[in-house]
Structure 1
Amino acid sequence: MPSRDPLPPLSCLRAFEAAARNASFTQAGSELHLTQSAISRQIKRLEGDLGRPLFERHHDGLRMTPAGEHYFRIVQGVLRELRDETARLRRRSGERQLTLASSPTIASIWLARQLPDFQHAHPDIEIRILTVEDPHRLDLAEFDLGIYYHVPNEVDPPGLNAEAIFDHEEVAAVCSPVYLERQGGVRDPSDLLAHHTLMVVEDHYHDWLTWETWYRELAFDWHPPAHTLRANSFQLLMNATLAGQGVTLGWTRLLAAELDQGTLVRAMPASLPSRGRLSLLMPRHRHLSEPMRAFREWVLSPSA
């Protein structure tokens, strides 16, 4: 009689890893394009195969059992190595391709302006851009290098090293000239809160710099603004700012072209040094291909 296969099905392991990482069957299903019930069935099948529970089901969510926590660390490591090696082998036929991950805002406002210079210097490298808003959701096997704002020791995506692209940057209140023509100038910080529309990002990843933080660190009196436009997309709010709909916090080096061209202007002269730096994110333990080395050298050079 043949012995039972010692390895569980890959589909069960992927479902378990996603459910454990997200602490949710529903979010795991969304990530893997499966229903919540399908994830639940895969987990039950895995638990039956192992002969022990991996999760404790509570009314307020999932918690891993001690066995589940130990198994999760092993499964996550194995799947990561499998993804990396699969991606490496797939790239063998196209070793001149470079996949860059970035947020939609950085990709559209800054990276798209810079890439022509790199492509002119390296015409043999094929560029692919992957836009993901939150670097914590990056799959390390799907990209070569990332460009994101990074706050050292506070917002550290797992498995990635960060090198600052900008050595210094200021955060200022910016708007379009059209907005100032229509609404009038901003007299002072109090006037901005009382009579102007503030763009507010509802995104946990950007919580390291909010309007309230900006005001308090500049020693301005703060109270909730009278008018806001809120969205969970900084790119959407930046497009609305360029269209004249309000005032947003903007990173001056990131928006240098818009400020130089006059499509954006400072609503007030005050600015705050940015704790977050535009940074190059590199997967740890990844062999640097020639395109990766070329891009790293280019983007970290002072002229980039």
Structure 2
Amino acid sequence: MPIRDVLPPLACLRTFEAAARHSSFTQAGSELSLTQSAVSRQIKRLETDLGRPLFERQHDGLRLTPAGAHYFRVVQRLLRELRDETARLRRRGDDRQLTLASSPTIASIWLARQLPDFQQAHPDIEIRVLTVEDPYRLDLAEFDLGIYYHIPHEVDPPGLEASPIFAEERVAAVCSPVYLARHGAVADPADLLARHTLMVVEDHYRDWLTWEHWYRSLGFDWQPPLHTLRANSFQLLMNATLAGQGVTLGWMRLLAAELDQGNLVRALPDSLPSRGRLALLTPTHRHLTEPMRAFRDWVLESAGPPR
């Protein structure tokens, strides 16, 4: 029997994978731009083709049958491999292109300052930067290497191997000279809470370091600050800090250039070792291309000594 008569339609497999992942025909339809009835028809067609049910329809939602659960694992793996290989083949038209994924903050403050040196050393490699705030939202088929802050054994995006770029990292309270000129120097940690504006990022991925944690870890008395500026974007708060709007927690190695150039200064002399370090994320399933190897070797060797 020809293979095309054995394999079910690809559209049905994609629909089944989405429905099984979401445990919902409605959410699968939203992801695939299909109506719920269209999803239901494709699942029914697949179940008819296989000769057995894949889902149990219950009052509280969908549940995979044992056969459906096993089939889901197989289909998910094969679709992922097919997607990755398709992306690889599409990139072969330009074997010298390298796609780097990073958060907007790291890309704008640190990576953009490093790339000219890499491009001077490797002028034949074309760089493409993909900004994604949360590494858990990365599509492994859309990038070659990632650069994110990483906490070993605690924040580990699946399918990625983390190699530290910075051997160590410290976190301090920083602000711009413009802010100090407007509001005066920060006398001590208590003065910072009572008289100054603290920049607070509302981001579940970075809640491993908050102002309260920083204060308590350094042995300072903590109370909610009187003045804050809050946002769900660290990049926005960093730009506001550079513009003189408040004091933020800053990673010293990441902000080395801004500190060296005087765009930022330490508001207090104290600093705390960071649990997270800037790391290069490499897809574990991906064969390293020549541009990937070149950038990996370069960035891991050229980050320089700690401040």
Shift of the alpha carbon at 1:196?
1.6
Q: What residue in structure 1 maps to residue 108 of structure 2? A: 108
Taking the aligned partners of 1:117 and 1:55, their CA distance within structure 2 comes to 57
* Pairwise CA distance, 1:197: 1.5
Cα distance in structure 2, aligned partners of 1:25 and 1:184: 58
Decide whether the 8 Å contact of 1:11 with 1:42 is kept in 2: no
Question: Cα distance, 1:9 vs. partner?
Answer: 3.9
TM-score by length of 1: 0.88
Q: Which TM-score applies when normalising by structure 2?
A: 0.87
Cα offset, 1:73, TM superposition: 2.4
Mapped pair 1:131 → 2:131: yes
Task: Output the amino acid matched with 2:46.
Answer: D
Shift of 1:26: 7.1
Q: Distance in 2 between matches of 1:22 and 1:112?
A: 37
Q: Which residue matches 2:46?
A: 49
Are 2:12 and 2:46, in contact at CA under 8 Å, matched by a contact in 1? no
Query: How far does residue 49 in structure 1 lie from its aligned partner after superposition?
Result: 2.7
Determine whether 1:207 maps to 2:207.
yes
- Match of 2:147, SS state, is strand
How many Å apart are 1:91 and its aligned residue?
1.6
Equivalences for 1:94-105 in 2 at 5 Å? 94-105=94-105
The aligned residue for residue 180 of structure 2 is: 180
Alignment of 1:154 with 2:154, yes or no, is yes
Post-superposition Cα deviations, 1:45-95, rounded to whole Å, max 9, x if no partner, equal 325632535476776x87666555434322221121011111111122211
Counterparts in 2 of 1:1-304, with a 5 A limit? 6-18=6-18, 20-21=20-21, 32=32, 34=33, 37-38=35-36, 41-42=38-39, 45-46=42-43, 49-50=46-47, 51-52=52-53, 54=55, 68-303=68-303
Amino acid aligned to 2:161: N
Judging changes above 3 Å, is the alpha-carbon distance between structure 1 residues 119 and 57 closer, same or farther for their aligned structure 2 residues?
Answer: farther
1:189: Cα distance to partner? 1.5
Deviation at 1:255, TM superposition (A): 0.3
The alignment-based identity, stated in percent, is: 76
The Cα of 1:198 is off from its aligned counterpart by 1.4
Show CA shifts across 1:148-206 (max 9, x none). Answer: 11100000000000100000110111111111111222222222222222111111111
Seen in structure 2, the aligned counterparts of structure 1 residues 302 and 57 have a Cα distance that, compared at 3 Å, is farther
- Residues 184-193 or 122-131, more deviating: 184-193
Partner Cα separation in structure 2 for residue 65 and residue 223 of structure 1: 52
**SS at structure 2 position matched to 1:77:** helix
Counterpart residue type for residue 135 of structure 2: P
CA–CA separation in structure 2 for the residues paired with 1:198 and 1:58 = 48
Measure how far apart 1:253 and its partner are: 0.4
Aligned Cα root-mean-square deviation (Å): 2.7
Tell whether the 8 Å contact from 1:172 to 1:266 is kept in structure 2 after alignment: yes
CA contact (8 A) 1:8 1:46 kept: no
Q: Does the C-alpha gap of structure 1 residues 195 and 29 become closer, same or farther in structure 2, counting only changes over 3 Å?
A: farther
Matches of 2:225 and 2:62, distance apart in 1: 38
Query: What secondary structure sits across from 1:300 in the alignment?
Result: helix
User: Where do 5+ consecutive residues of structure 2 fail to align?
Assistant: none
Summarize deviations over 1:80-122 as a string: whole Å, max 9, x none.
1011111111122211111111111101110000000000010
CA distance in 2, matches of 1:229, 1:57: 47
> By how many angstroms is 1:134 displaced?
0.7
1:221 and 1:65, CA in 2 relative to 1: closer, same or farther beyond 3 A?
A: farther
Contact 1:16–1:43 (8 Å) recurs in 2: no
Alignment: residue pair count: 299
- Residue type of the alignment partner of 1:189: P
Larger Rg computed on CA atoms: 2
Contact 1:12 1:43 (C-alpha < 8 Å) held by counterparts: no
Cα separation, partners in 2 of 1:128 and 1:262, compared to 1, 3 Å: same
Change (3 A) 1:237 1:63: farther
Structure 1 unaligned regions, length at least 5: none
Partner Cα separation in structure 1 for residue 30 and residue 174 of structure 2: 36
Going from structure 1 to structure 2, the CA distance change for 1:215 and 1:9 (only over 3 Å counts) comes to farther
Q: Measure the CA separation in 2 of the matches of 1:167 and 1:266.
A: 21
CA contact (8 A) 2:15 2:42 kept: no
